[in-house]
Structure 1
Amino acid sequence: MSTIDTETVAPRADVESAKRRDIIDGARRVFFDKGFDGASMDEVARAASVSKATIYVYFASKEELFEALVQNDRARSAEHLFEVDPSIDDVATLLRRIGVSFMTMMVQPDHIRLIRMVIAVAEKFPRVGRTFFDAGPCHGGQRLAGLLRRQADLGRLDIDDDLEAAFLFLNMCQSNAVKGLLFGVGEQPTLAQIEAHVERAVRVFLAAYGTDR
């Protein structure tokens, strides 16, 4: 009976994983520069320093590559956004930190470009739109809902629907800033402006869900 040489398989898997990341990183640069329709697999290959044939080993089409990019970026952002200090026992402070982190990511030029690209291709490739929604807004809302539920269990919030409350808070933090940027109206807000948006959202949220309202 033959045995698997784990010392050989593990490095090979690492190499393949690194190659896949290189392709996604190259695709990110090309898609952000050219847009989905303007990007070509030849350009992605040059940006990733691989052959086009190598790209097709990992991704069957440009749509599949873009979908992988969306899923990778949104999942990574959601994981980072809701990493909070467990020692924080003040709900307002917790919400402010989450809100500022969330909004700082939302107004980044590359994030705005990504949203625009997803919207542009979602009608033709609805699976890409679903991937963005599931890995981004939906996943982020679920992560925040879990944090809110823990605060409610500790008696700091009075919430019936965790997920609805989470989406309400995130949407209030955005105010009209993100929508304006999507349509090319206004400039990227400063940190002080973001903090002001978030502070208003926190006050309204606690007025609705705080136990001492």
Structure 2
Amino acid sequence: MGGGAATLERGQAQAQLESDKRRQILEGARSVFMAAGFDGASMGEIAKAAGVSKGTLYVYFDSKEALFEALTVEEKRGLAEALFQLDVDDPDLGSVLTRLGHTYLREMARPEHVTVIRMVIGACEKFPRFGQSFYEAGPACGIGRLAGYLDTQVAAGRLRICDTDLAARHFLHLAQAGLLTRLLFRAGGPVTEDDVEHRIAEAVRVFLAGYGPEA
């Protein structure tokens, strides 16, 4: 038993070391990609930024494309999971959507997030799987989580029976209402807190007007 426990502990320690090294590489890659873009980044620069040798880098990721895909997918998946933590038991649907809308819009407006989206759009012309992976890990995951929450609200009588997948998309589009497009094109000034408050209040109002329970 003692030997087995020791082996297990060594295995767990090795797995943690592997995870930490991978995270270290991804952090280095993030800084290089954000500064140089996908085309301008090199594996040598990434290895230097991550504090690892190129040999170690290639043990974890066999190409710049694989590293870029892993970085963007992991970040988008983590964001979707963090944003779309919705309390199905909260009877105040408007408050739940308002909180979601605020966190969602603030995240969409982060300069780093906008930069990542630009990079993915630019790279997926040559590597279509980047766009597919990014969409599935982020937008599709978020929509699925919100649609699941809306299903519970329909069952509780707080929303009328509807296509909850489409309703989830409607709410998220109402929340950003062209804002992301403006930011992608660097048009207009920075997003203010007043703008966020106004956009989300209107998004919730219009959503509930369309999907609220029948009188």
TM-score for the superposition, normalised by structure 2: 0.94
Number of the residue aligned with 1:209: 211
Letter in 1 for 2:170: L
In structure 2, the partner of 1:120 is 122
Tell me, yes or no, if structure 1 residue 46 matches structure 2 residue 48.
yes
Deviation of residue 86 (structure 1)?
A: 5.1
Q: Check the 8 A contact 2:88/2:149 in 1, yes or no.
A: no
CA shift digits 1:91-117 (9 cap, x unpaired): 111111111111010000000000000
Paired positions, count: 212
**Distance between the aligned counterparts of 2:60 and 2:40, measured in 1?**
21
**Is the 2:160–2:214 Cα contact (8 Å) retained in structure 1?**
no
- Separation of aligned partners in 1, 2:70 and 2:145: 21
Name the SS for the 1:189 alignment partner. Answer: coil
Secondary structure in 1 matching 2:114: helix
User: Secondary structure of 1:9's partner?
Assistant: helix
Q: How is 1:82-97 mapped onto 2 (pairs within 5 angstroms)?
A: 82-85=84-87, 88-97=90-99
Runs of 4+ in 1 over 4 A off after TM superposition: none
In structure 1, the residue matched to 2:170 is: 168
Task: Tell me by how many angstroms 1:120 deviates.
Answer: 0.1
Q: Which residue number in structure 1 is paired with residue 147 of structure 2? A: 145
Deviations 1:94-149 (A, max 9, x none): 11111111101000000000000000011100111111100011111001111111
- Take 2:193 and 2:49, find their aligned partners in 1: how far apart are those partners? 33
CA distance in 2, matches of 1:212, 1:110: 42
1:9 maps onto 2:40 in alignment: no
Structure 2: unaligned runs, 5 residues or longer:
none
Aligned pairs for 1:53-202 (under 5 A) are 53-85=55-87, 88-202=90-204
Question: 1:20 matched to which residue of 2?
Answer: 22
* CA-to-aligned-CA distance 1:143-195 (integer Å, 9 cap, x gap): 11111111111110013211111011101111121110100101231122111
Structure 1: runs of 5 or more not aligned = none
Residues 74 and 136 in structure 1, CA contact (< 8 A), matched pair in contact too: yes
Q: Match for 2:177: what amino acid?
A: S
CA contact (8 A) 1:159 1:165 kept: no
Residues 205, 108 of structure 1: CA spacing in aligned structure 2 closer, same or farther, 3 A cutoff?
A: same
Q: How many percent identity over aligned positions?
A: 47
Shift of 1:51: 0.6
The secondary structure found in structure 2 opposite 1:5 is: helix
Cα separation, 2, equivalents of 1:194 and 1:139: 23
Aligned-residue Cα RMSD (Å) equals 1.5
**Whole-angstrom distance in 2 between the partners of 1:149 and 1:100:** 21
> Hey, what's the Cα distance between the residues in 1 that align with 2:87 and 2:163?
24
